[in-house]
Structure 1
């Protein structure tokens, strides 16, 4: 059996939510659609997979495992009625780790106005701070949703209209302790390509954008990118550690890569010496595996069902 990393896809990012009705409504307002729902009544949780699915979308109509840039919302039964239940969004000490998901839009002024007019809150509006070209909306669980433009700053922008069918689920950001170790893992082990690097020495951080697409200076039109944020000096602090979202208190759960041949991919990961959270043979679910990245973030591995049938989803 063989596996080809060029056929892998950054399929989804998982977020735990308190109330699925509110969360699904928010992401549907941003133009996403529930493309798959998995109900687990016995284990008392449901999974909602949302993605852009209009005729203008990148992977319209594809099987959910044959897409990039999905958001998986995990709902554990009863949390919506528990006044004490709260997720962590990954941006507050001492539980920083996951940062945000990001959508890219056609007309950022109009897109932000539409979100604000609907009554949703912002962590950062376009007019806040020095960076006037990005905004951060807050979903019902206070996860940050970055909003960026698909257009260059020099392009004339219609600030009055926006078409959600043209939006993209562009990237997911996680903070990493050691950029060199993380870049090696995501490139050499997972087969991603470094598409873009942004250095900000005056602010003491770098951003690295990776994915399974071809490199480009303009990545805002892509779906399914991974942004690694490295703050200078964390790699030298022996006691420094980011929160992976799965240790208590919980929030962000994992990212997921779909592969061409699940068994062969896992065999390859074994040869690469990965740290496993769950092998295919562990537990009752034999159709998923989880590996750990250098910071302890979970990476789910599933079969791309459009290439080879495995799970029957």
Structure 2
């Protein structure tokens, strides 16, 4: 059977956490729901999968492997009781790499006020700096959670209510050394489409938004990110000139100090997809045939970030989903 990249999905982003109770409480406060959990007691870690699943959510009711915009929280037993254990959030030198996840909301002022009232901290409030249309909240481990609005912020200034059922897990941001190489990899090999480019020449960086599914909304209102209503996008941040420095390297999150672990795509036929990757001469972290886990693989992108590959159960022969 051939594999069809148009059926792939950007399924999840994995983050290591110190205390799962605190992290789950935070993400559930943002309106997410646990859609799956794996307990790996012999290996002493658990995996928690959270996603938007209200009746208004894009993937409401779908099997966990047939979704986009999931957050996978990985908890290694005992970290919650270790006073010296800290997470690398990906934004501190010299260990920068992963940048943030982002949610899009209905009324951004009300959404930020709700978080502040609950006692959660911010890296950047709406009123900080020149960018008055985005904020960055901090989760319990210090990961940055960007908050963007699905409407022009001028329309939501006086709105006091926010409906978490309308939120989207919009994107995950990684920094890349060479934009051309990374774009070619994610488009030609991973099968993603380039949905939006934001050039910031005065500040020396560009942003690229890639993903599967529908294209960007060309008719979005002024002041609104044209992909704000999407879920499961990959944002690549390229800082000008890094591609010219032979010694420059981003932190992949899996070397010490650890934090972000990987992104994951679900595919229509995992054997055929992995053969396609093999034919495209990708670098592997783990082939399907390696180790005991014969149902997952890990590809390495040009910066060494891990990309997990799993089977979308919806497309599996004889599936009930």
TM over 0.5: yes
Q: CA deviation at 1:152?
A: 2.8
Question: Given the alignment, which residue of 266, 291, 298 partners 1:283?
Answer: 291
Report the equivalent of 1:162: 162
**In structure 2, C-alpha distance between the alignment counterparts of 1:292 and 1:182, rounded to whole Å:** 11
RMSD of the TM alignment (CA)?
Answer: 1.5
CA distances 1:230-274 after superposition (whole Å, capped 9, x unpaired): 000000001000000000110000000000000000000000010
Mapped contact 2:299–2:306 kept (Cα < 8 A): yes
> What corresponds to 1:245 in structure 2?
253
Residues 142 and 116 of structure 1: CA distance in aligned 2, closer, same or farther (over 3 Å): same
Shift of 1:206: 0.1
Deviations 1:124-177 (A, max 9, x none): 000000100000000000000000001134645552000000000000000000
After the TM superposition, which of the residue ranges 54-63 and 153-162 deviates more from structure 2?
Answer: 153-162
Which residue matches 2:52?
Answer: 52
* Unmatched segments (≥5 aa) in structure 2: 219-225
Query: Deviation at 1:115?
Result: 0.1
1:306 positional shift: 1.2
Are 1:177 and 1:241, in contact at CA under 8 Å, matched by a contact in 2?
yes
Contact map agreement 1:14 1:254 (CA 8 A) in 2: yes
Q: How many angstroms does 1:213 deviate by?
A: 2.2
Shift in Å, 1:107:
0.0
**Residue in structure 1 matched with residue 196 of structure 2 by the alignment:** 196
Q: Is the 8 A contact 2:51 2:169 kept in 1?
A: yes
CA distance in 1 between counterparts of 2:41 and 2:5 reads: 35
Structure 1: give runs of 5+ residues left out of the alignment. none
| 1:156-210: CA deviation from partner (whole Å, max 9, x where unpaired) | 5552000000000000000000000000000000000000000000000000000
* 1:312, distance to aligned residue in structure 2 (A): 11
Q: Choose which of 234, 246, 251 in structure 2 pairs with 1:226.
A: 234
Q: Is the 8 A contact 1:105 1:147 kept in 2?
A: yes
Report how far residue 215 of structure 1 moved: 2.2
- 1:15–1:74 contact (8 Å) kept in structure 2: yes
Aligned to 2:39: 39
- Structure 1: how far apart are the matches of 2:318 and 2:39? 19
Partner of 1:210: 210
2:67 corresponds to: 67
Alignment size in residue pairs: 313
Q: CA deviation at 1:309?
A: 5.6
Task: Determine the structure 1 residue equivalent to 2:175.
Answer: 175
1:85 correspondence with 2:72: no
**Cα drift, residue 307 of structure 1:** 1.2
- List structure 1 segments (4+ residues) > 2 angstroms apart after TM superposition: 152-159, 309-313
Report if the CA contact (8 A) 1:303-1:311 is conserved: no
CA contact (8 A) 1:120 1:139 kept: yes
SS across alignment from 1:23:
helix
1:6 aligns with 2:6: yes
197-206 or 214-223, which deviates more: 214-223
Instruction: Compute the TM-score of the two structures, normalised by the length of structure 1.
Output: 0.98
**Cα distance per residue 1:52-98 (max 9 Å; x no partner):** 00101001111100000000000000000011111100000000000
> Taking structure 2 as the reference length, what is the TM-score of the superposition?
0.95
